[in-house]
Every structure is written in structure tokens, then in C-alpha cells.
Amino acid sequence: MKTKLRALLGHPRYRYLLIGVGVYIFELLVIVAATRTGAKPVLAVAISFWFGLLLSFGLQKFVTFRDKRVHHKVLLPQIIAISLLVAFNFFFTLTLTSLLASSFPPTLTRTIALGITTLWNYYLYKTHIFKQPNEVEHAQKTSE
């Protein structure tokens, strides 16, 4: 069992999903707490989005993709790329929440938005944002 778990966690796809589920649960708790204190659905989802983002960025960079590079020449382009992706994801999430608010609770609309954004986020993280130089060399060698 330990060997199987270690093998699963050795692949970034499974670490991404595990961290994603953990952050998702955290975000749902934030939504519930915010709505219980009087926040409207869109505000509650917005609050959970930003708290979840901060937690997710650190865990995905350092744990999922094992990208320990923190030099400003690496970190600055990553922050810019993440910022653009986050802005897109944020407006997509709020738009979806607004469209579905009369039919579904905010936890469900956040779940739907998260499911959709998870797919393109993983692809962009893996292929562009957290791709390390040795992965580029390896990909070029295997294609020759």
C-alpha cells in the first residue's frame, strides 16, 4: 500500500489533484463561513477564490511541480503568467456564479467553475508556467 501511494504521489498529476481537493475543501469552508456572516454569494465566492489562490499557488509550485526556483528571473515571469491566468479564472468564476446564482448555491457554482478551470490550469502549469529547463531538454531529446 505504501509503495502504491508513493508511486501515485511521485507523479505531478496526482499531487495536483490531491492538493486541489484540499484547497477545494478549504474554499468551500470559506464560502460557508462568509455566507453565514452575511456575505452575498458572489462576494463569498470571491473571498474563497483569493484565499484558495494564495494557498494553491505555493503548494502547486513547490509541491506539485517541485519548482524550487525563486530567482527573480524565474519568479517574475511566473507571477505575471499566474496573474493573467488568475484574472481570467476569477472573472470566469464570477460570471458563472452570476449566471447560475438563481438556480444553484454558491458552493455548487464554485465547484463547477473549479472543475472547468482545473483542466486548463494543469495544462498551463505543466507545459508553460512551472516547466523547468531540464524538462525542455528532455522533451527535445525524446522527440529526436
Residue with C-alpha cell 529547463?
133
The Cα 132–Cα 51 span in angstroms is 27
* 134/56: higher pLDDT: 56
* 139 domain residue, yes or no: no
Over the chain, what is the mean pLDDT?
Answer: 88
Q: Reduced to 3 DSSP states, what percent helix, strand and coil does the chain have, rounded to the nearest 5?
A: 85, 0, 15
pTM exceeds 0.85, yes or no: no
User: Count of domains in the chain?
Assistant: 1
pLDDT in tens, 122-133: 999 999 999 887
Distance CA 49, CA 109 (A): 12
Grid cell, residue 49, equals: 477564490
Report the C-alpha gap between 144 and 76 in whole angstroms. Answer: 32
| Domain assignment present for 143 | no
Average pLDDT over residues 107-111: 89
**Residue range of the domain that includes 123:** 2-132
pLDDT at 136 over 90: no
